[in-house]
Amino acid sequence: MSSTPRLGHGESNGDGTPAHPAQTADELIAEGLLRHLSNRDASATEQRLAAAMAAIDQEKAGPRAATPAAPRFRTPRWALAAAAIVVIAGTAMMLGIPGEQSAMAQVQQTLAAMRSVGDRRYVVQLDGADETNGGMPNGIIDTRSPGLLLIQHRPPWQREFTTVGRDEQGKWAIRSDGQVERANPNRYWPPWVTIDGESLFADSLDELLESLPKAYTLGTPVRESLQGGDRVYSRITATRINTSGPQPHVVDLWIDPETRLADRVEFRWNRGPGGHSHTEGEHGAPREDGDEGRFDHGPDHNHKHHDGPRRPMPDHEHDFDDHHEPHSSPDGRGRAPHDHDHEHDDDFVNMPPLAMMQWMGEEGVMLMWSSKPGGRKGGPPRGEGRGKGGPGLLTFQRIPVPELPTDWFTPASHMPATESPEEPGLGKSAGNGE
């Protein structure tokens, strides 16, 4: 017999009075439909239907029919189900077991789609980064299979973006003097791609996603829209089996059912065992929004081995210099090195990141990465990773990408511009603010 426990429905109204049958019915239906949406699978429905029709045909053919049409569903099904439940019960506490296979299939399809789709662009938001970014993205990633990568990121305490990448020859970076660094490019790479010396995604975002089936328990896919949007995604939550090491404890994927691409990826780190997250405030006080979120606590940075991205440290070459670059706006927020004009939207491809954000409209970008379910407009949730602590959440949001030039992932495409700053023609390394 099925024994999955379900929460009582409308058993009381909290004051001891029994709930009205209508209320109980409402709750049962809401839950039933939710479970239906979570487990909905057209092929499974078709299979059920086919099995039922086969059983009907078999029944019509009479008891002497040669082969049972659908033995799985008919003869010993109660006994088989009971046996299956015994097996399942042992692992019932693990997240996502019922939908594991479906989730696995979806992740595999996503990986295949990512390899074949061509160029992709993600904006990166790191909760817990310093406040000086003014809510701007921490980076923009362009990626092309296999393994080509371009990251335009804003180092901590810097107003300008640095460009790093990987091409066929390996990693590179554009130094602040405008030269290409291939010997030791790691120092220019954003801190959030390397944690305690281990690479979060050594070659690409895809590489970490490829590790999901092996290193993570995949939860049941849930149909879910991002706040503020109508598109319904298949959200898969992957929980790491072994939580030692720096990799995120939880990875959430929002997969577009049409393109099979992960339009949003979230890396989360749980609170350390018994410890208070630094994200809770100076003295472990409850977060100001009182939300007891389950995954939104940053790593314990007092621990010797940090979990999650380490807090970015200032580069000694440009420590704490509060440069007032000509490209910074008076209100302290960066703006495009080239005073980008909306008439030049065709030059999107070559826009430096800040210009691109300006082109998109800052609010548009903000909405994009705050549009997680329950998220707030205008930045990460209150109290979540802000201030002193390291990030508990690293978000990658896919955005449209124009056709990138063939050499986009080579440093030559991103050398400092020598032309007039009024012309937003070529991408430009923003340097390190020196």
Partner 1 sequence: MSTSGDERDRRTEFELLARTHAEMLEAYLRTLLRGGNLLDDMFQETLIVAWRKFETFDRTRPFDTWLRGIARVCLLEQARKQRVQPASMDPEVLSAIDRRFEVLSRDADGSSFVQRVERLVQCMGRLPEAMRQAVDLVCAREIPIVAAARSLDLSEETLKKRVQRGRQLLAECIGLNGNSEGVPQ
Interaction residues for partner 1, span 222-241 (CB under 8 A):
222-227, 230, 232
State both tokens at 388.
């002193």
Residue 27 or 130: the one with the smaller Cβ distance to partner 1 is 27
Residue 48 or 182: the one with the smaller Cβ distance to partner 1 is 48
Provide, rounded to whole angstroms, the least separation between the CB of residue 38 and partner 1: 4
Residues 265 and 370: their CA atoms lie apart, in Å, by 12
Residue 333 or 376: the one with the smaller Cβ distance to partner 1 is 376
Residue 218 phi/psi, 5-degree rounding, is -90, 130
Which of the ranges 24-32, 311-319, 352-360, 423-431 carries the binding residues for partner 1, by CB under 8 A?
A: 24-32
Residue 54 or 180: the one with the smaller Cβ distance to partner 1 is 54
Residue 26 or 325: the one with the smaller Cβ distance to partner 1 is 26
Which of the ranges 44-52, 107-115, 385-393, 398-406 carries the binding residues for partner 1, by CB under 8 A?
A: 44-52
- Does 38 bind partner 1 (CB under 8 A)? Our answer is yes
Which of the ranges 94-102, 145-153, 278-286, 308-316 carries the binding residues for partner 1, by CB under 8 A?
A: 94-102
CB 364 within 8 A of CB 118: no
State both tokens at 398.
């896919």
Nearest to 263 by CA among 409, 159, 110, 118: 110
CB-count burial class (<10 Å; 0-12, 13-18, 19+) for 72: exposed
- Does 373 bind partner 1 (CB under 8 A)? Our answer is yes
Residue 218 or 365: the one with the smaller Cβ distance to partner 1 is 218
Q: Which residues make beta-bridge pairs with 89?
A: none
- Does 65 bind partner 1 (CB under 8 A)? Our answer is no
Q: Which of residues 197-226 bind partner 1 (CB under 8 A)?
A: 219-220, 222-226
- Does 96 bind partner 1 (CB under 8 A)? Our answer is yes
Residues 419 and 138: their CA atoms lie apart, in Å, by 27
Residues 160 and 152: their CA atoms lie apart, in Å, by 10
Q: Which of residues 263-302 bind partner 1 (CB under 8 A)?
A: 291-294
CB 318 within 8 A of CB 401: no
Provide, rounded to whole angstroms, the least separation between the CB of residue 117 and partner 1: 25
Provide, rounded to whole angstroms, the least separation between the CB of residue 408 and partner 1: 35
Residue 46 or 407: the one with the smaller Cβ distance to partner 1 is 46
Coil vs helix vs strand at 354: helix
Q: Which of residues 131-190 bind partner 1 (CB under 8 A)?
A: none
- Does 243 bind partner 1 (CB under 8 A)? Our answer is no
Size of the site for partner 1 (CB under 8 A): 75
Nearest to 237 by CA among 254, 214, 215, 256: 254
Which of the ranges 197-205, 299-307, 373-381, 400-408 carries the binding residues for partner 1, by CB under 8 A?
A: 373-381
- Does 257 bind partner 1 (CB under 8 A)? Our answer is no
Residue 81 or 313: the one with the smaller Cβ distance to partner 1 is 81
* DSSP code per residue over 159-173: SS-EEEEEETTEEEE
Which of the ranges 318-326, 345-353, 368-376, 406-414 carries the binding residues for partner 1, by CB under 8 A?
A: 368-376
Considering only 190, 248, 299, 375, the residue that binds partner 1 (CB under 8 A) is 375
Nearest to 224 by CA among 250, 248, 257: 257
Residues 399 and 392: their CA atoms lie apart, in Å, by 22
Residue 221's alpha-carbon distances to 2, 174, 262, 364, 368, in angstroms, are 22, 41, 13, 28, 22
Nearest to 355 by CA among 266, 411, 264, 417: 417
- Does 22 bind partner 1 (CB under 8 A)? Our answer is yes
Residues 255 and 241: their CA atoms lie apart, in Å, by 22
Residues 394 and 208: their CA atoms lie apart, in Å, by 13
- Does 378 bind partner 1 (CB under 8 A)? Our answer is no
Which of the ranges 41-49, 304-312, 344-352, 360-368 carries the binding residues for partner 1, by CB under 8 A?
A: 41-49
Element (H, E) at 45: helix 42-61
Nearest to 172 by CA among 139, 206, 148, 146: 148
- Does 348 bind partner 1 (CB under 8 A)? Our answer is no
Residue 12 or 259: the one with the smaller Cβ distance to partner 1 is 12
Residue 89 or 202: the one with the smaller Cβ distance to partner 1 is 89
What's the one-letter identity of residue 319? D
Residue 85 or 180: the one with the smaller Cβ distance to partner 1 is 85
Q: Which of residues 107-126 bind partner 1 (CB under 8 A)?
A: none
Coil vs helix vs strand at 284: coil
Place of tokens 């086919």: 50
Provide, rounded to whole angstroms, the least separation between the CB of residue 419 and partner 1: 46
Provide, rounded to whole angstroms, the least separation between the CB of residue 186 and partner 1: 36
